[in-house]
Amino acid sequence: MLESVLITIATAATPLLIAAVGELVVERSGVLNLGVEGMMIMGAITGFAVAIVTGSAWIGVLGAILVGAAFALLFGFLTLSLVTNQVATGLALTLFGLGLSGMIGEGFVGRPGVKLGQVDIPFLSDLPHVGRLLFGQDPLFYVSLLLTAGVAYFLFSTRAGLTLRAVGDNHDSAHAQGINVVAVRYLAVMFGGACAGLAGAYLSLVYTPQWVENMTAGRGWIALALVVFASWRPWRVLAGAYLFGGVTIGQLHAQALGVAIPSQLLSALPYLATIAVLVIISRNRRLTMMNTPASLGRPFVPER
């Protein structure tokens, strides 16, 4: 029983982790992209549609990644090249993604999806208690863990990661040292978009292999909150994603057990937890300011 609960928690946490790790890289570069929800939903419908048309879930995953990166490129062009307001542009991107996905997905509602199969490692996946949890998950579960480790290594153990953090902390100083601030931010934004698209594909190809309009259900916003919750640290994002995954699964089990609490309130628990966490974090202003990239959300216009 416990193993099954832990498996469902991991499944619920994986899309949050992938999207949040991508957004962490974006924000570390000094860009605030509130369009994560829009990129996730476009990744979900693209992955689902491409998988049905081609018959391959992996091609669907690739399509979702490319669409997420393309949406991020649009965001980057508007905010980095045309220097539009990042908050307003991100919100517009989310609204655009939600509307466009609904239109594209109209013909796919109710159709059976192509599910991405699970990894089955002989002998190891049959181990008692931990076999299925550690060695019998879907491939994207392992990708999410490798992605977290890779981003942590990149940010804090490589020269390129130091460059990206320097751009996020003080883009003027970085520019004075000869760093192409706009190019670095473009790459970071596209990486974040690709991760958001991958997270969306997870929802429609693994979590619930079907297409339902607005199936992201606010997970993009939770991913944004996770980045702040984790103080822009990859391993803390991992812990936060599994914490929120546990809250999500906990409310489902509570409903199944017939807990005498309105189902609407139980369904709202993950979002109430998000608000509660942000309120708690905001009370420690010194810690928040110490870890926040100093140039986050600030436009950069190179000297001509």
Q: What is the pLDDT of residues 131-170, one digit of tens each?
A: 677 777 899 999 999 999 999 999 999 999 999 999 999 9
User: In the 8-state DSSP scheme, what is residue 207?
Assistant: I
CA 233 – CA 287 distance, rounded (Å):
13
pLDDT at res. 1: 60
Instruction: Confirm if 79 and 138 have CB atoms less than 8 A apart.
Output: no
Mean pLDDT confidence for 34-58: 96
Q: What is the pLDDT of residues 107-117, one digit of tens each?
A: 898 888 888 88
* pLDDT cut 70: percent of the chain above it: 87
**Phi, psi of 191, rounded to the nearest 5 degrees:** -65, -45
**Would you place residue 258 in the very low, low, confident or very high pLDDT band (cuts 50, 70, 90)?**
low
Identify whether 297 is part of a domain.
no
**Tokens matching residue 279:** 């309120």
CA 41 – CA 150 distance, rounded (Å):
25
**Tokens matching residue 93:** 């991107």
**Count of beta carbons in the 10 Å neighbourhood of residue 126:** 12
* 287 pLDDT more than 70: no
Q: Which residue range is the domain that position 132 belongs to?
A: 2-291
Identify whether 302 is part of a domain.
no
Identify whether 304 is part of a domain.
no
Identify whether 81 is part of a domain.
yes
- HSE-up (13 A, CA, CB side) for residue 91: 4
Identify whether 172 is part of a domain.
yes
Going by C-alpha positions, the residue among 39, 27, 73, 1 that lies closest to residue 203 is: 39
Q: What's the number of domains the chain is made of?
A: 1
CA 149 – CA 20 distance, rounded (Å):
13
Identify whether 298 is part of a domain.
no
Q: Which residue has the tokens 């004075």?
A: 176
Identify whether 222 is part of a domain.
yes
Identify whether 192 is part of a domain.
yes
Instruction: Confirm if 200 and 39 have CB atoms less than 8 A apart.
Output: yes
pTM, entire model = 0.92
pLDDT at res. 117: 80
**Would you place residue 68 in the very low, low, confident or very high pLDDT band (cuts 50, 70, 90)?**
very high
CATH code of the domain covering residue 34: 1.10.3470
Q: Which residue has the tokens 């980095």?
A: 80
